[in-house]
Structure 1
Amino acid sequence: MSDISSSAPRKRGRPTADEREERRDQILDAAVALFVSSGYGEATVDEIAAASRVTKRTIYTYFGDKAEVFTAAIERFRSRALADLETEAETLQDLAARVVFVLHSDDAVGLHRLMIGESAQFPNLAQRFYDSGPQGYIALLEQHLSHRGNAPEAATESEALFGLLLGEPHRRRLLGLAPAPTREEARDYAVRITTLLGHSETAPEMT
């Protein structure tokens, strides 16, 4: 029996917003898989187009060049991870636990390893990775600390907190010496770090 769906004609006309978003995700999913498996330098726009089943023109229309695809993937990762975050509603320990859980995950660690390996050859890309990734989390921590009344010290403290939330556990993750933490393990670690810095608030469990 033939596959009816594969022989059905594609719809013509301008795609809807949902269709555009679905296609965008399709391209980014394929690109991340290629970047991690082949390396950023080796992966080509042609390969990304073939893997995501779109044309090169579609990729250029949606993103621009390959560097824009990579940056968009990093930004999407961060926005999805913290999509339902309400800065004023969550406690600092809630936010810290999310950061630990997200950045110690397999996906985040894979992208981090990739960028470390490619940074010497692509320094501009490394800067964009930092701006879209780590710097974004630091800014979020700074915003939260400012809301707590620590505005003068928030910039310095947010960088220190971010560094501690990664710490040696993240180094072990990069080296493949430890598995990704569970949500409970991420919260336990975040509570220890925030308490060390003098933020010993009690917070509800993450959902």
Structure 2
Amino acid sequence: MKRKAWSASHARVQQMADKRERILDAARDRFLAEGFSAASMDRIAEEAGASKMTLYRHFKSKEALFLAAINRDCAQIYAVEEHDPAITREAAAQSLSDFGQTFVMAITEPGVLGLFRMLMGEMARFPELGRLFYDAAPARSIAVIERILSGLLPAAEADMRARAFMHLLMGDTYQRLALGKIDFAQSATDFPAQISLAVELILSGIGKVTPEERP
């Protein structure tokens, strides 16, 4: 007999969701305080008020836990299907601008930035962690941008421009913030102009497209 699935409102489902959040909170704190290699899964479970078995039920490895911790505040930028392909340059500009603002807010959230800095410091010892992070985060952001551009450009060009746009959004402002050259307040002042310029540059050469000309 097939076991009946609980509804999203079931108390047990909510308890599991709350437990997952506590694990992620504890993991973020340990990773930031100790780094990836030193952070103990036993200590994370203890701080979350969970058993080690429960921790591994939610996250199969420390790598998976780290990726979940760094991506928790970025989930809104990976919703590919929520972004329709733009069919005019104007629509693309608006969609890219909206995405850019959401993207920048996510990657500059203090906890996310702290975990990214920690990741860079661990790369020499854990190169696989960097590869997993790329697939779990930047590659998914690029997929969203590519979808927005897919109504205006051939697939190969949409992909190329999507990759460029993501890095234009981050630009020198993100680098200065990540390296401690500027603070969060200054980055918030600088990012709007950077986002606008990124949109302008990435849509350079794209005019209005008729239905017959769409890819």
Deviations 1:120-139 (A, max 9, x none): 11111111111111111111
The residue aligned with 2:132 is: 128
**Is the contact between residue 80 and residue 143 of structure 2 (CA under 8 Å) also seen in structure 1?**
no
Q: Could you state the TM-score of these two structures normalised by the residue count of structure 1?
A: 0.80
**Structure 1: how far apart are the matches of 2:37 and 2:118?**
10
> Could you tell me which of 99, 102, 109 is aligned with 2:103?
99
| Residue in structure 1 matched with residue 194 of structure 2 by the alignment | 189
Structure 1 counterpart SS, 2:203: coil
Between the two proteins, the alignment pairs up a number of residues equal to 187
| Match for residue 139 of structure 1 among 143, 147, 167 | 143
What residue identity is the alignment partner of 1:60?
Answer: Y
Query: Counterparts of 2:77 and 2:164 in 1: how far apart (Å)?
Result: 21
Greater helix content: 2
After superposition, residues 110-121 of structure 1 pair within 5 angstroms as 110-121=114-125
Structure 2 counterpart of 1:162, one-letter code: M
Partner AA of 1:187 in structure 2: P
1:49 aligns with 2:53: no
Q: Hey, what does 1:58 align to over in structure 2?
A: 54
Instruction: State the 4+ residue runs in structure 1 displaced beyond 6 angstroms.
Output: none
Distance 2:106 2:82 in 1: 16
Structure 2 contact 36–118 (Cα < 8 Å) conserved: yes
TM-score, structure 2 normalization:
0.77
Question: Structure 1 residues 85 and 33, CA, compared in 2 at 3 Å: closer, same or farther?
Answer: farther
Whole-angstrom distance in 2 between the partners of 1:110 and 1:148? 37
Check the 8 A contact 2:73/2:106 in 1, yes or no: no
1:198 aligns with 2:214: no
Identity of aligned residues (%): 30
Structure 1 runs not aligned, ≥5 long: 1-13, 202-207
Task: Give the corresponding residue for 1:157.
Answer: 161
Q: 1:9 aligns to what?
A: none
1:97/1:189 contact within 8 Å kept: no
Among candidates 174, 179, 188, match of residue 183 of structure 2: 179
| Bigger Cα displacement from structure 2, 184-193 vs 127-136 | 184-193
